[in-house]
Amino acid sequence: MKILVAADISPNSIAIVDFLKVWLKGTQVQAKMTILHITEPELDYAESAPSHETAPNSISREELKELFHPLESLCELNYVITNEEFGDSILKRSQNVDMIVMGRRKRDQLQEMLLGSLSQFILHRVTCPLLIVPEPDRPNAQLTVANAETPVISVEALARLKVLICVAKADGILKESEKVQLRSSARLLPRGMMWDHLLDESIDLATELAQITTLAEQELTYYTAYRLTTGKAEPHPSEQLIIGQIKDTFNLDPATLEQLHSLVDQSYTIQGDGNIQPIKDAHQRAEVIDQKILHGAMATAVLGGFPSPLMSTYTESVALDIQFALISEVGGLWGYTDLESETLFEGIVGSLGFVSAWLTAIDIAKLLPNLGTNLGASDAFMATWAIGKTMNAYCESDRQMSSSAMRQMFKQARKEGEAIYRKNEWAIVEQQHTHKLPIKKLTEDIRAKKLGLDVYKRLVRQQLFSIQR
């Protein structure tokens, strides 16, 4: 009998193992069991935060083997780890098995809205028998895996994550961009702390804020919470109350608050060089645009690669500056001078709320050494590359390309950008080493109020590259 088991590294899978152990002993069925573990698929701005894994890893495989070890003497086990789409991956393999076994977690209405129900999705589409194992009544159950690496996340960083959850849940409605931000942190929790339990936990905001004592973490907490609420057209009064409570608890000085507000409020109003001259020769124009896109993508990759989340609050504002300028300047090279960069930016990548989600996801990823650095650099490169390529296609269509077509183009161009990033990775690393100390010094200066935001952005851009006219 061929059995497909959909599993993750969670207490819910413990219940599956416990059930199968009893069932296999009782039935004495000769089973060949495939343990399917699905990592996050690669997504874009508008669909989700960047995945922390783009390929299966050995840690996941070892964890699965440790988890399903009790079944080794009862059946033949085969492990498959993939980053395909969750539902489609299971349905595709269902054609060649006699039964599917999967878990179902207990969720309230809020969680069901946030995470959906994979078991319901499979139940209504599968053609073979489906066995669903409910989560046991042990909400604090922890999964311990021998020799597994434990994510390094500080008490302050975990408290900051809980503050973000409070902000997202304040209005009683989790917007899609908020779902993205919260999902992005799932793999960063300490071993044994499960995402569903954290989401369901009653969080005392005052207690969590009291855990955040260093000035850098306080600034970052306020910044990320403020950015989350300003991604909406009209922040909910409950969200504004939380922002006020954060501000009052941390007692940040007015100049710092103004600076943090400016980093968010001015992020999406950048225009490029309005004096750029159009190029009529198609071949020459294509060469110049390709050069601008590559230079812009490499510059944002350098900025995205800084490991400190607090430093990233400043460098990412320059990265967005570069992306907006790229939209304007590509249009200028085609002779279009009346473009609205913000509208086009949203048309290409989705709402500004989704962009806020992406930025926060990168910041959360940087809680782990090396992971966030690589993730930030590569994703910034791919996004900028895709923005430039999509903008060029939009102009080539005589500005007739629809928003849906632009977003599809953006997805395709991101995949192309990944290959280009790998090709130029050595040069990007070299540039990161070259620019690290000067940009760090500029960032320290703006934090110390020695520089204004406009001057800071201009100096960082000058440090990174000089745009060829």
Reference 299, options 419, 421, 469; nearest CA is: 421
What pLDDT shows up at residue 340?
Answer: 76
Is the pLDDT assigned to residue 47 strictly greater than 60?
no
Taking phi over 0 as left and psi of -120 to 50 as alpha, with beta for the rest, 40 belongs to beta
Most confident of 135-149, 291-305, 330-344: 291-305
Condensed to tens digits (0 to 9), the pLDDT of residues 103-132 reads 876 554 434 433 345 677 787 788 899 888
Q: What percent of the chain has pLDDT over 70?
A: 70
Lowest mean pLDDT among 134-138, 147-151, 223-227, 415-419: 147-151
CA distances from 25 to 20, 70, 75, 434 (A): 8, 12, 10, 63
What pLDDT shows up at residue 116?
Answer: 43
What pLDDT shows up at residue 361?
Answer: 53
- pLDDT band, residue 330 (cuts 50/70/90): very high
Lowest mean pLDDT among 103-107, 303-307, 453-457: 103-107
CATH 1.10.3680 occupies which residues in the chain?
155-263
Q: Is the pTM of this model over 0.75?
A: no
Between residues 359 and 455, which one has the greater pLDDT? 455
Is the pLDDT assigned to residue 161 strictly greater than 70?
yes
| Contact by Cβ (8 Å): 14, 63 | no
CATH number of 155-263: 1.10.3680
CATH 3.40.50.620 occupies which residues in the chain?
2-134
What pLDDT shows up at residue 315?
Answer: 85
Is the pLDDT assigned to residue 92 strictly greater than 80?
yes
- pLDDT band, residue 344 (cuts 50/70/90): confident
What pLDDT shows up at residue 442?
Answer: 93
Assign domain 2-134 to its CATH superfamily.
Answer: HUPs (3.40.50.620)
- pLDDT band, residue 155 (cuts 50/70/90): confident
Q: Give the mean pLDDT of the chain.
A: 76
What pLDDT shows up at residue 60?
Answer: 58
Is the pLDDT assigned to residue 45 strictly greater than 50?
no
Between residues 110 and 3, which one has the greater pLDDT? 3
Distance CA 237, CA 416 (A): 42
Region 2-28 average pLDDT:
84
How far does CA 159 lie from the centroid of its chain?
19
Is the pLDDT assigned to residue 363 strictly greater than 80?
no
Distance CA 11, CA 67 (A): 10
- pLDDT band, residue 206 (cuts 50/70/90): very high
**Residue 429 CB neighbours (<10 A):** 14
Beta bridge partners of 38: 82
DSSP letter assigned to residue 189:
S
* Amino acid identity, position 37: H
Region 123-149 average pLDDT:
64
What pLDDT shows up at residue 460?
Answer: 92
What pLDDT shows up at residue 105?
Answer: 62
